[in-house]
Structure 1
């Protein structure tokens, strides 16, 4: 469901280890979606409110792998505090992060 005051995020852990300290936010860091832990082969879906965002920016996902390595993945674009996309999906693999945004129809 599209809401014009934010973006839905789905994070899927396709690894054999849990990921922890998951955070999804915007460049402005006004609101932050925090997920303590996503188990192997599980996913989490949350909604990031962007009601107070005002500027242009991008999205950022950070988390810790089981080995303690901190990963940072960015992407997408929003303008004047508003999301151009309805949702974003992150697929966490052992050696990479795949990011998919829905393709809005203008």
Structure 2
């Protein structure tokens, strides 16, 4: 039996644990307020978002509770990056009209 490395070890029940597997969340599944909040927390920890939006992003697995506030999860970062890349390729998203 292989011992889990520090990288792939996730404590059960921790606040930073990934969301349960299910239907993946798409960009169009989010409200404009949730999209804006996700883009802001993707830029770094100094952005303040509303508690209700933060809780919803955490429930969706797109954000995690951190000691100094809410931070983006791996799933959330992958979603934002995918949207940014689509916008760069010119496939048209609403990313540009709500950037802050």
TM over 0.5: no
Q: Which has the higher strand share?
A: 1
TM-score of the superposed pair, with normalisation by structure 2: 0.27
Q: TM-score, normalized by length of structure 1?
A: 0.26
Higher relative contact order (CA 8 A, sep 6+): 1
